[in-house]
Amino acid sequence: MSHLTNSPALIARPQRRRWLPAGLGPAVPALLLLFVFFVVPVVSLLLRSVLEPQPGLQNYETLLGSQTYLRVFLNTFTVSGLVTALAVLIGFPVAWSLAIMPPSWSRIVFAILLLSMWTNLLARTYAWMVLLQRTGIINKTLMNLGIISQPLTLVNNLVGVTIGMVYIMLPFIILPLYGVIRRIDPAILQAAALCGATRWQCLWRVLVPLAAPGMAAGALMVFVMSLGYFVTPALLGGTSNMMLAELVAQFVQSLVNWGMGSAAAFVLLVVTLALYALQLKLFGTSEMGGR
């Protein structure tokens, strides 16, 4: 009996101290990557914004107190909001068409969407510069049809920036909407029609509310990406339509003013995180996923 009591197999092994919570071990590489490439740069950005060229909040005071810089902020949010609204208006019918069209046609349209996303951004922007210039195919077509008598100015202004950015952002609103619409049971729309609802009532009172979470998630993605866009506004816009990303680049590259550039970039980051937190509060993660 004493032999069994003193058996090493029956003696409880001392538990090892866990340095990490259970199940967190596999996530350590991802957390380290996030810390090195996100947390450290953001902290460095914040420090430079309050330490250069001298300690204090003068960079933020200059940035938020100047009418010129406030105009850049206003222009950034105006363009981003306009691009988001147009992308939703165009992307919703496309996503709905993708959801109801035959699979063979759906695959072709999907291939076109993916091809546009995979094409180099700079090449797409230069293509729009060629199309929108005064001697481009758009102006020539409108003049040949007799719609206009003089070429329209479609580049180096808000029109060119909006057209180029809407084209680039469309896949980012179409794909989330398509996923949400595909999960909507067609029987719901059929039930609404049997209850006497017209096609427009089925659209606005049934389909749009059910697709609203995916629409909100896609719209947030488009809006946030538009806030920090640089290439398309720089090539298709003008100095009067400068956006915040161009201002940051000018501070850093032309003026070598890292303090002001860091302050502008940090303000943009705070606004982006605030918008994302607002959507999480309004919709939640499951609603944004279209559940």
157: its two tokens = 């202004």
Residue positions counted in the chain: 291
Give me the phi and psi of 44, to 5 degrees please: -60, -40
pLDDT score, position 157 = 85
In whole angstroms, what is the distance from residue 74 CA to residue 235 CA?
20
- All structural domains of the chain with their residue ranges: 56-288
Contact 160, 132 (CB under 8 A): yes
Least confident piece of the model among 18-22, 54-58, 139-143, 208-212: 18-22
Alpha helices of 40-183 — where are they, by DSSP H?
40-51, 58-65, 67-100, 103-118, 121-132, 137-144, 158-182
Supply the pTM of this predicted model. Answer: 0.80
Q: Is the pLDDT of residue 27 over 80?
A: no
Rg (CA), the chain: 26
Across 30-34, 85-89, 153-157, 269-273, the highest mean pLDDT is recorded for 85-89
pLDDT score, position 89 = 92
Least confident piece of the model among 19-33, 107-121, 164-178, 275-289: 275-289
Matching CATH number, 56-288, of 3.40.50.720, 1.10.4190.10, 1.10.3720.10, 2.70.98.40: 1.10.3720.10
Helix (H, G, I), strand (E, B) or coil at 135: coil
pLDDT score, position 2 = 47
Q: Report the mean per-residue pLDDT for the chain.
A: 82
Q: How far apart, in Å, are the Cα atoms of 1 and each of 7, 8, 9, 13, 20? A: 10, 14, 14, 21, 40
Q: Is the pLDDT of residue 122 over 70?
A: yes
In whole angstroms, what is the distance from residue 262 CA to residue 57 CA?
12
pLDDT score, position 255 = 81
pLDDT score, position 83 = 93
Q: How far apart, in Å, are the Cα atoms of 218 and each of 95, 124, 177, 221, 280? A: 12, 22, 7, 5, 13
Residue 290 binned pLDDT confidence (cut-offs 50, 70, 90): very low
Q: Is the pLDDT of residue 111 over 50?
A: yes
Q: Is the pLDDT of residue 281 over 80?
A: no
Q: Is the pLDDT of residue 247 over 60?
A: yes
pLDDT score, position 22 = 62
The whole-number average pLDDT for the span 251-272 is: 85
The string of pLDDT tens digits covering residues 186-237 is 788 888 888 887 878 888 888 888 888 888 888 888 898 888 888 888 888 8
Task: Give residue for tokens 């596999």.
Answer: 26
The string of pLDDT tens digits covering residues 42-100 is 888 888 888 887 887 888 888 888 888 888 888 889 999 999 999 999 999 898 888 88
Residues 6+ apart with CB under 8 A from 267: 60, 63, 64
Higher-pLDDT residue of 118, 84: 84
